[in-house]
Structure 1
């Protein structure tokens, strides 16, 4: 499914900027009175959100608006999107695939931003003593992954690249902690996983990469908001963007120091966190037509594999899209 020709960059920038531009038209008191809280869904693997939570930077930025911050932790992106779907959170940060599955399930959200491509931040790994040396050797093997996560698409594309189909393997759907345990006891043959879990199993267990995402996937990370919340509280979304940008710039300029701050919060070694941060080029930006088109390709692929019940239009989950 292709984006319509009318979806020009000028039109997109007008749409994506609408939420932020509208902030100036809303009195501060109205935001606070309407909803004095921003509920942020985060994963412990989301290093920037973990840093923000620890530093209290978002709370300080939202204080003039009278808006409090509540942090709600989830084990992975699909579970986080379930939380958004049932109204448990207002914003979240996930990989490429979770928003697609959530949109298929009827979740009402909008893409409010993305971080640059991070293809090295996800990979297919095997134990260090595994006889497997190529993705092509995975036929009939058990491969663990978190269903509906960014690595779901990575696995599909890697299999295609090496002449296999998704039906050629035995997918084992496990969240990261359970997959790590299965990996270490030899219950699975390979594991599709993202950072910092990837860096951790490489550094701590000597896991060996069969392939990462380079040349196969982009692995964009997306910031999402519940549609109604984004429309009602553009000033809050603006403040979130500003804080993400400021914290992201600090991390990029101070990788080692950032890793030292984040490591104890994630329960990981500093070297593990630093490696993970090096593979994530943080830098929140509004979506562009090109990024939306890439998401559409992923949605179309999942539909063709019958992993989605119906075709999707990514345009329907963008700011300014008609609903109802």
Structure 2
């Protein structure tokens, strides 16, 4: 009898042990499943969603998610990629300043550094087209260093000088190009500018002659508003152009003797003749009227302004 009871107790113990083992296995399975579920819903799923957001251009949302997930998988790399992609999108849309603002803080790769350089150049080009030349020059001289930037800088200098030229500010135009005329177009513009400077100087000399004549009272005179034409004339008591007045004009304009002789030709004066001659970068023209009035003009040549 005792033997049978012992056998029954042993069997019961084995059954209880198996039950406990099964329960423990079930608990392990449940815990593992929960861990896997947590891993998927807390890490993998938001990670994949963030990648989709990045691909769809929702850079800020994607970057925030990757920041929360880091260092999970490639989250840190995707953070940097989100900055680059956002800057690249801004660049493609012509918003170069936003691209610059992003990349100044986040250009850790060669690709990002190249995009930053391109953005600076495009920004400078836009500024130049809007005639903000100084800002464009500041960017190209101080923010970026490359062959592309150097060539663009030459273009900006040229356009700035040309803008001053069109406004008649020849001295400023010359100051810009005298040390920056590295292309054939720039050299041609510089030559044109310097011709105009000499032409303007000739007009100033004609004005000086007018002032000196008025002070000396050697003859009555009238200077045109644009300072290109001086009329000399005498009153009825002396209906001739005095040699003193004419020589003063010749000296001021530094005219060669040949032009002076042509202008003083008696027959030309008596018969109301006229003539012209080239002197340096401008022409000198003269006309007599009734043997009493002499009009002397300085005229531009070579299609100068």
Tell me: higher relative CO, structure 1 or 2? Use CA pairs within 8 A at least 6 residues apart.
1
Shorter-chain TM-score range: under 0.3
Which has the larger helix fraction?
2
Which has the larger strand fraction?
1
Q: Tell which structure's C-alpha radius of gyration is larger.
A: 2
TM-score (normalised: structure 1): 0.18
